[in-house]
Structure 1
Amino acid sequence: MKRLFLASALLAMTPLAMADTTVELHKATDEGVSDSVGTVTFEDTDYGLLATPDISGLPGFGMHGFHLHANPSCDPSTEDGEVTPAGAAGGHFDPDETDTHSGPYVKDSHLGDMPLLVADNDGNIKTPVLAPRLKESDLAGHAVIIHEGGDNYSDTPHLGGGGARWACGVIEGR
């Protein structure tokens, strides 16, 4: 009985590690989200937020913009009669209101700017990336989006030229 009490006391004093955050991403369409394209798992490290994708279905090799967006929605939006897939996710997460798209390594930039993801020849993304300015606690209540095209981390062309929103996933609050 004494051993059981000691084991319980030790467990109670041991801090529990926060579970990693995994978000499922779905193809973004004019009608809403459709089939799952995979997941991204996020975890804090000493160097920032590690994002480990397991994504498939992209149309071949290439770079893709990857961002944390302001709103927790993947619904389409309509403005001036034009539909934007996952448009309800809003703009990039920018709590400091920098209004600047300069990438994940520049302090005075959208906090939601994350490193590019690169698809292999089969349209799969498996290589982890590190977002040095983000923490797992920043994710809740936002959407993560993968864009069809790359990202040059500038404001020209608009938001680095990532193009259409290809996939979206909502990160629920904790």
Structure 2
Amino acid sequence: MSLPRQLLLGAAALSLAGFAQADIAIEMHAVDKSGVGKTIGKVVASQSRYGVVFTPMLKGLSPGLHGFHVHTNPSCEPAEKEGKVVPALGAGGHYDPESAGRHGFPWGDGHLGDLPALFVNDGGTADSPVLAPRLKLPDLEGRALMIHAGGDNYSDNPKPLGGGGSRVACGVVKSAPK
């Protein structure tokens, strides 16, 4: 079994078995060039002994895999870059406190904010938990959680930041347990 599949199944088992206690609920919103839109659900972040489990309860996303990341700033507001308005650009880039300077696997040595891809079923619902083994709940405080339009190849090649494309949903992490 591949490591990403093991992490996904492990996160599901932790959530279902009660080993991970829900600590932070992050309200997620659709985002576009005009700003922050309607609520699409929430993601619950829970600390486990294996890392942070992100359990989505989301609706209204396009089916398939989506890039899923912790971003540096606590904002989901649009901002201008090179003369164009970019949805949720106020969130900044992927959370990278160790200055890795590259995108990578959630268990690797890339950005600390690189999470496993988020799976959305054919009905537009995301409810499969993912595990971020290098994160701890306090890392999330004052950050944003981002969902991108496309998938994630965990590399900067052939496209930067996993090739996930535009930002389609965002939530601000208001606080984390101490």
Q: Same fold (TM over 0.5)?
A: yes
1:62 equivalent to 2:64? Answer yes
For residue 44 of structure 1, what is the amino acid of its counterpart? Q
Could you say which residue in structure 1 is the equivalent of 2:30?
27
CA contact (8 A) 2:22 2:47 kept: no
DSSP-derived class of the 2:47 partner: strand
Give 1:31 shift.
Answer: 1.3
Per-residue CA deviation, residues 79-125 of structure 1 (Å, 9 max, x unaligned), is 2221110001000000000001012010x210000011110011100
Q: Residue type matched to 1:63 in 2? A: L
SS in 2 for 1:114: coil
Letter in 1 for 2:165: G
**What is the rounded CA distance, in whole Å, between the counterparts of 1:164 and 1:79 in structure 2?**
13
8 Å CA contact 2:56, 2:129 repeated in 1: yes
Equivalent residue runs for 1:7-22 within 5 Å: 20-22=23-25
Question: Could you tell me which residue of structure 2 aligns to residue 170 of structure 1?
Answer: 172
1:36 counterpart (35, 39, 42): 39
Q: Following the alignment from structure 2 to structure 1, what is the Cα–Cα distance between the partners of residues 44 and 114?
A: 17
Count residues with an aligned counterpart: 156
TM-score using structure 1 length? 0.86
Give the match for residue 91 of structure 2.
Answer: 89
State whether structure 2 residue 118 is matched by structure 1 residue 100. no
SS in 2 for 1:20: strand
Q: 1:19 Cα deviation (Å)?
A: 6.1
3-state DSSP of counterpart to 1:115: coil
What SS does structure 2 have at the residue aligned with 1:155? Answer: coil
Partner in structure 2 of residue 129 of structure 1 = 130
Describe the superposition over 1:51-79 as per-residue Cα deviations: whole angstroms up to 9, x where unpaired: 000011012x2000000000000010102
Corresponding residue for residue 51 of structure 1? 54
Which of 1 and 2 has greater Rg? 1
**Which range is displaced more, 75-84 or 86-95?**
75-84
Q: Which residue of 2 is the match for residue 145 of structure 1? A: 146
State the TM-score, normalizing by the size of structure 2: 0.84
Cα distance in 2 for residues equivalent to 1:72 and 1:41? 17
Identical columns (%):
49
- Report Cα offsets for 1:120-152 as digits up to 9, x if no partner: 011100001110000111110000001110000
Q: Secondary structure in 2 aligned to 1:137? A: helix
Aligned to 1:74: 76
